[in-house]
Amino acid sequence: MLALPAILTHAQAGPCLEHLSAGMAAGPQQLVLDAQALQEFDSSALAVLLELRRACLRLGKQLTIEGAPVRLMHLASLYGVRALLEDGTQAHTETIVPAPV
C-alpha cells in the first residue's frame, strides 16, 4: 500500500509523484493508495492522483484510493474529475459544513 503525505501542494507534487510512481511500478496489480494522512492540499493533489491513475491504466493496473478526505472529493467535483477518481475510491464519511453567511 502506498500513502499520500499530510501536505500535498504545488511544492510537494513533483517529488510526491516521483515517489509514488516508483512504488507503483513495483507494486501489485491492484494498487491501493492510502489518503487518510492528507490534511493540507490544493489542486496539485488532484493532478498527482490523476497522473497516478493514467500511469496505472498504461500498466494495466487498478488504482483504489482509500480514506480520501471529503474536501478532496469536493474539490474533484468542482474540477469535474470526481468520477475519474471515485472508481475504487472510499472517502471518509465526514460532513461538509458550509461557512456561516
What CATH number should be reported for the domain holding residue 37?
A: 3.30.750.24
The pLDDT of residue 91 is 46
Identify whether 100 is part of a domain: no
Domain that holds residue 78: 2-91
Predicted TM-score (pTM) of this structure: 0.83
- Residue 77 within any structural domain of the chain: yes
User: Is 11 within a domain?
Assistant: yes
Can you spell out the DSSP letters for 37-97?
A: T--EE-HHHHHHHHHHHHHHHHHT-EEEEEEE-HHHHHHHHHTT-HHHHHTT-EE--PPP-
Determine, yes or no, domain membership for 56: yes
Q: Is residue 98 part of a domain?
A: no
Structural domains in the chain (count): 1
What does the pLDDT profile of the chain (101 residues) look like in tens digits?
899 999 999 999 999 999 999 988 887 889 899 999 999 999 999 999 999 999 998 988 999 999 999 999 999 999 999 999 886 554 443 333 444 54
